[in-house]
Structures are given as C-alpha cells and as structure tokens.
Chains A and B, each alone.
Chain A
Amino acid sequence: MAVSVDEAVSAGPAPDHPSPARRVRRRGRGRSVLEVVLLTALAVVMLFPVLWMIETSIKENRDVYAVPAEFFGFTVTLDHFRDVFVGADGGRSALSVAFLNSVVVAGVSTVLATVLGVPAAWAYSRFTLKAKKDQLFFVLSTRFMPPVVVVVPIFLMYRQAGLIDTKLGLILIYAAFNVPFTIWMMKGFVDEVPAEYEDAAMLDGYSRLQAFWKFTLPLLVPGIAATAVFALIFSWNEFVFAIFLTSSDEVRTAPPAIAGLIGGTTVDWGLVAAASVVFALPVLVFAYLVRRHLVAGVTLGAVRR
C-alpha cells in the first residue's frame, strides 16, 4: 500500500514548484559564485605580497624604486639571485652559507625531534603510566611560552655550556621545542592504530619493540610525515633564538641573515626579495612532495574506524 501512495504523490503534477533537486542545485550555484568571489579576494590579499616579492626579485634596482610602480614591462634580471649565492669577491656569499646552515639546523633538529618524539608518543599511547595526563600536560606546557620569554635564561645557560654561536646549540633548542609538539601530534596518530596489531605480533613471536617497529611504525608514516613537516617549518622559520644565540656569518641561519640585509644606509631590496624567494622555496617543495601524507595525516583523526 505504501508504494502506491508514494507513486501518487510523485506522479502528481507540480508545475509551479521546482523539484527539490533543482532548488538545491540553484542554491548551490548561488553559493558557489559567492564562494569564488570571496576566495578570489582572499587569494589576492594573501598572494599579493608573495607576488610582489617575486617581482622585486627579478627587477633591475632602478625599476624597484620606480614611481608609479610597474607591474609589467620591466626588464627581467636574475642578477639578484646570482648575488644571493655568489659573493662580491666571486666566492660563496654569506647568504649562501646561511642557507646551508638553515638546511643543516632545520633538518637535523627535525630528525632529532622525530626520533625522540615518536617512540615517546608510542609509549604514552600504549602504556598505563602514573600521572600520565600530568606528564603530558607538563610536556605541552614547555610550548606555552613564546621563545622570547625564555631566550635570556637560555642565552646564559648556553654561554656557560659553550653553545653560543654554534649550530649544535640551535639544533638542540629547536629539537627541544619540537619534541613536545611531536609527542602530542604523534600520540594522536598512535592512538588511531589499534594496539591489537602489536599484541598479535607479540603472540606471533616478536618482542614488543619489534612489534612496534614492524607493524605500528609503517602505519604511522603519514602521521610522521605530517608532523615532521610542521617541525621542519618551525625550525626553518625560527628567528628569535637564531638572532640571539648566533652572531657569526659561519653559523647564522637564513632568517637572521636576510634580516641583516635590511638596515644599512641603502637597502638592496632586489637582493632581499631574491633571498626571501630562495628561502621560501624548500618548504614549499617539501610540503608539495609529502602533500598526500599531509592530507592523510591531518585528516586521519577525523576518520572513524
């Protein structure tokens, strides 16, 4: 009986009511126009500085200062990029050394934070510990303060320990800042991997560590990738510690080195822009390479088993 009732309703003519499907579609189109407009506006606002930076990096110096500013039709030059890497004397520039330092410092500190943080996160996820919540809160609390607040005591401690103006010093402090972050992020990912895999593997003849290594770790790769990218970006961009704890050109990382370009009597904006472009590229490329893992990693917690 129910079927025939339904049929009667749907078969009845309803000329002046658009079908629900049509209505939804029209509303959908209205919204998408608004969305496109808003997103375009947002994109322009967000991307303009980046665009301007890129333009400046390939303009002749006289075009940089041109009034009114020229968006198109200036002479393109790659001189600034050459200056980023090659010094005035033809050898390596201070900036290129700074970039290399950044790569080393950010890379090593990220690896260190991951190597320390992932097993810790696993342990926090798997084992019942005394006052686990308090421990985790304590771990997180080290991230409550902005670096500026602790930089003076750390400066004093580093001076005692002979870590001032060393890459090791920066690596250690960045790792220390990234370990809590890694533990918290990774704990979430480990929680998502059922402990039964490890239990089953242990009954199959593996030790607890082997079980972690062989079964849980491979399932954590997307999470590790996502976490490591965030840690890497933090270390790569970090400015406060870098400028306080390092001074020589041989040790300095890129952020203070680029900042150092501004502030003389004349500022070579072309060079600043070119250095900034070079500085921004690696993180972009890296994030692009692991984008699949990033998305999987960021959304993992939202998916129900």
Chain B
Amino acid sequence: MAGIEVSALHKRYPDGTVAVEHVDLSIGDGELFVMLGPSGCGKTTTLRAIAGLERQTSGDIRIGDTLVNDLPPAERDIAMVFQFYALYPHLKTRDNLAFPLRAEGLPKHEVRQRVEEAARLMRLGPLLDRRPRQLSGGEQQRVALARALVRRPRAFLMDEPLTNLDAELRADMRTEIKHLQGELGATMVYVTHDQVEAMSLGHRIAILNKGRVEQVGTPLEVYDRPASLFCAAFIGSPPMNLIEVEVADGELRGQGGLVLTPPPGLPRDRPLVAGVRPEALEVTAPGADRSVPARVVSAEWLGDEIIYVVDHSGGRDVRVRMPPTVRFAADAKVGLRHTGGTPAVYDVRTEELVA
C-alpha cells in the first residue's frame, strides 16, 4: 500500500474541455479518501489521471515515492473498479478473477490460492463457475471488487461503484467496502456524487466543484464547517439554511430578526451570510423565549423526522428539522429560534468561510 500525491493537476481534453482546473490532493497510506462533487466536476477525470488512463495536461502524480506521470497504467500497480463493472463477458467468475494474475505471469498454484482467498473475502464461492451475465448486479459488483483485490495493488480506485445497485444493496455494499478497506489497510480513492455514501465511508472527503477542490476534511468537519457557500449548499439534506446576517451589539442578527451566537473574529465591513443547519433551529409555540414570530409554510413528514419550511417576518424561508412528535399544522403561527452553537459565517462576495 502507498499514499497518493496529486499536485497542481490540470486536464484539458483535446476538444478544449477543461475537466480539471487545479487539483491538489494528499491521500495518506491506508486512507479511505472520498471525492465528492456534482456531475461533471472532474471526479472521474482526476481518478483516471491517477490510474494513468488519461494523461494530465500538467501537474504531478506520485504513488508512494514514485513519480508516475509517464508510467502506463499497467506499471502503476493500482486496481480500479468501474461504475459499469467491466467483467469480461466471455469469462467465468473464476477466470475473471484469475485474469489479472495470469497477465502478471504468476505461477498456477499462487493464482488459485489468491483467487480462493478473494472469493472467500467477497463470499463468491457459489458464483465461481458462472459468467457475468448469469450474475445479478450486486453479485457482479462483488466480483469486480474481488477482481481488484486479487492483485494486491498499491491502491484502489473506485468510480461510483455502487451507482447501479438498488438502495438496500448499496447500503450493504457500503458496509462491506468499508469493512474490507479497514481489514486490508488499503489505500482507497472512492469517487461518488452521493453525499450519504461519502459521509458514511470516507475517512476524509474532498469536495470538488468545476474542476477545483473546494474543501478537504473529515465528514464531521465537512458537515459542521463547510468551507464555502458551494459546500454549504451541497452537503446535507436538506442543506444548510443560508441567512443574511449583520453584526450588531455583539450579536449576529438575521434578516428576519433571528439571533445567532457570533463566532469570534468576524469582519464588520462586508455583507455576510450565516449557514445554519436545519437541526440547529427549532419551531416553538408562538412567543416562546428568544423566538421570533414565524409561520409554517409546509411540512414534510419523513417518518423519523419532520422537515418544516418556515417563513419568518421578512427573512427567507428556512428549513427546520424536528422530531416527529412535535407537530404543527401548515399555516400555523409559531415561533422560530436558534438552538445550535456558533454558525459558520460566509463572505457573500468571496463565497468563502470567514469565521
């Protein structure tokens, strides 16, 4: 296993599309690193550049201590799992697994031993003699994972490997991948546009937007203090409420009169926006302590929680996450108050976190 260093990566396709503007990543040995971002932000391109399937226009890629810029994919010693599983259709599971090993020229008994080991790890025993088309999507994906495992590569690259599976199976496979990664201590770069997947899998998450890295951090950091307005709007479902605020009398006052605890070191001379998670707000009975008058616009019952959309005098509508026991009818007059700690505050012009 080895770490991966990507510095100043830039990729421009021959047709002029700039897929990756500027990406720096430092992925530790044995880390499960997730790249998250909307469609077209350059995740796949970055991953393919690391794999050597795409030659970067400029920038350096190191795997372990080796500068791999000019190495063909075959010599980079990494395995990749694709969204479309890419199992060879004419080969049985057994041979699909053995394939990369035979390509390497390993002796027969070693090949057999490694195939069995990978099959045991991914519980493929009964599937070994089937061809890909006789396997379900989930099974195919397990074979694809096992195929990546047998080589014992220096790092694993995964490009949205679970996208084609249904929700339940996806959750199972997520657990499985996480478990496997921990067990093997494997360096893994995992690309997804599903934030739940990113949050539950990643040791660290990089959020990409338009070919740039917006933020790198642990799932908690990314959730609690999104580094930019883009991240704030991207992470969380529903996402953060962005409330225009002013600093006044040592308080942070939102447009609708909502009072927030100000973080230290706020600049005073610029328009600011506070990012407030839906769970950091509370819908109360009208006139409750520290609350501002508000009205319920709509409510979404999700079973384990209710998302209220609340309109408070003049401010933008905000979303509030409440336990299912607290019920207000639509149009009810209520109170709204902030219960969380200090919010993240952004400069409206630079769109970056200021405090």
Q: Is A bound to B?
A: yes
Q: Which residues of A contact B (CB under 8 A)?
A: 127-130, 132, 194, 196-197, 199-200, 202-207, 215, 218-219
Q: Please, how many angstroms separate the alpha-carbon atoms of A6 and B76 in the complex?
A: 63
Choose the segment among B84-92, B217-225, B339-347 that binds chain A (4+ C-beta atoms closer than 8 Å).
B84-92
Choose the segment among B96-104, B114-122, B325-333 that binds chain A (4+ C-beta atoms closer than 8 Å).
B96-104
B82 close to chain A: CB less than 8 A: yes
Q: Take A194-B86, A196-B84, A218-B90 as given contacts and tell me if A203 and B14 are in contact as well, using a CB distance cutoff of 8 Å.
A: no
Q: Please, how many angstroms separate the alpha-carbon atoms of A204 and B106 in the complex?
A: 13
B267 close to chain A: CB less than 8 A: no
Residues of B within 8 A of A130 (CB): 14-15
Q: Judging by beta carbons under 8 Å apart, are B53 and A204 in contact?
A: no
Q: Which of A128, A197, A215 contacts B14 (CB 8 A)?
A: A128
Q: Judging by beta carbons under 8 Å apart, are B80 and A199 in contact?
A: yes
Q: Please, how many angstroms separate the alpha-carbon atoms of A199 and B47 in the complex?
A: 12
Q: Residue of B at shortest CB range from A127?
A: B14
Q: Judging by beta carbons under 8 Å apart, are B86 and A205 in contact?
A: no
Q: Please, how many angstroms separate the alpha-carbon atoms of A207 and B103 in the complex?
A: 11
B182 close to chain A: CB less than 8 A: no
Residues of B within 8 A of A205 (CB): 74, 100, 103-104
Q: Judging by beta carbons under 8 Å apart, are B88 and A215 in contact?
A: yes
Q: Judging by beta carbons under 8 Å apart, are A203 and B13 in contact?
A: no
In the assembled complex, the CB of B31 is this many whole angstroms from the nearest CB of chain A, namely 20
Residue of A127, A130, A204, A206 contacting most chain B CB atoms (<10 Å): A204
Q: Residue of A at shortest CB range from B16?
A: A130
B186 close to chain A: CB less than 8 A: no
Q: Please, how many angstroms separate the alpha-carbon atoms of A194 and B88 in the complex?
A: 11
Number of interface residues of B (CB under 8 A): 27
Render B65-83 as a binary contact track against A, CB cut-off 8 A, 1 for contact: 0000000111010111010
Q: Please, how many angstroms separate the alpha-carbon atoms of A248 and B216 in the complex?
A: 78
Q: Judging by beta carbons under 8 Å apart, are A206 and B74 in contact?
A: yes
Residues of B within 8 A of A200 (CB): 80, 82, 86, 88
Q: Which of B74, B80, B88, B100 contacts A207 (CB 8 A)?
A: B74
Q: Judging by beta carbons under 8 Å apart, are B72 and A207 in contact?
A: yes
Q: Judging by beta carbons under 8 Å apart, are B74 and A199 in contact?
A: no
Residue of B48, B80, B104 contacting most chain A CB atoms (<10 Å): B80
In the assembled complex, the CB of B75 is this many whole angstroms from the nearest CB of chain A, namely 8
Q: Judging by beta carbons under 8 Å apart, are B84 and A194 in contact?
A: yes
Q: Judging by beta carbons under 8 Å apart, are B86 and A199 in contact?
A: yes
B49 close to chain A: CB less than 8 A: no
Residues of A within 8 A of B74 (CB): 202-207
Residues of B within 8 A of A128 (CB): 13-15, 17
Q: Judging by beta carbons under 8 Å apart, are A203 and B78 in contact?
A: yes
Q: Which of A127, A197, A202, A219 contacts B73 (CB 8 A)?
A: A202
List the count of A-B residue pairs having beta carbons below 8 Å apart: 59
Q: Judging by beta carbons under 8 Å apart, are B82 and A199 in contact?
A: yes
Q: Residue of A at shortest CB range from B79?
A: A203
Residues of B within 8 A of A197 (CB): 86, 88
Q: Judging by beta carbons under 8 Å apart, are A129 and B72 in contact?
A: no
Residues of B within 8 A of A202 (CB): 52-53, 72-74
In the assembled complex, the CB of A132 is this many whole angstroms from the nearest CB of chain B, namely 7
In the assembled complex, the CB of A216 is this many whole angstroms from the nearest CB of chain B, namely 11
Q: Which of A203, A218, A219 contacts B80 (CB 8 A)?
A: A203
Q: Residue of A at shortest CB range from B53?
A: A199
Interface residues of B in 2-23 (CB under 8 A from A): 13-15, 17
In the assembled complex, the CB of A212 is this many whole angstroms from the nearest CB of chain B, namely 14
In the assembled complex, the CB of A205 is this many whole angstroms from the nearest CB of chain B, namely 4
Q: Which of A127, A132, A203, A206 contacts B51 (CB 8 A)?
A: A203
Residues of A within 8 A of B86 (CB): 194, 196-197, 199-200
Q: Which of A194, A199, A204 contacts B103 (CB 8 A)?
A: A204
Render B252-279 as a binary contact track against A, CB cut-off 8 A, 1 for contact: 0000000000000000000000000000
The 10 sampled A-B contact pairs (Cβ below 8 Å) are A128-B13, A129-B14, A129-B15, A130-B15, A194-B84, A199-B86, A202-B74, A203-B100, A204-B74, A204-B103
In the assembled complex, the CB of B320 is this many whole angstroms from the nearest CB of chain A, namely 38
Residues of B within 8 A of A218 (CB): 90
Q: Residue of A at shortest CB range from B101?
A: A204
Q: Please, how many angstroms separate the alpha-carbon atoms of A218 and B88 in the complex?
A: 11
Residues of B within 8 A of A215 (CB): 88
If A132-B15, A203-B76, A207-B74 are given as contacts, then 17 extra A-B residue pairs at C-beta distance below 8 Å, sorted by A number, are A128-B13, A128-B14, A129-B14, A196-B82, A196-B84, A199-B53, A199-B73, A199-B80, A199-B82, A200-B80, A200-B82, A203-B73, A203-B79, A203-B80, A204-B74, A205-B103, A215-B88
In the assembled complex, the CB of B215 is this many whole angstroms from the nearest CB of chain A, namely 29
In the assembled complex, the CB of A303 is this many whole angstroms from the nearest CB of chain B, namely 13
Residues of A within 8 A of B48 (CB): 199
Q: Please, how many angstroms separate the alpha-carbon atoms of A180 and B164 in the complex?
A: 37
Q: Please, how many angstroms separate the alpha-carbon atoms of A128 and B18 in the complex?
A: 13
Q: Residue of A at shortest CB range from B83?
A: A196
Q: Residue of A at shortest CB range from B104?
A: A205
Residue of B14, B86, B90 contacting most chain A CB atoms (<10 Å): B86
Residues of B within 8 A of A127 (CB): 14
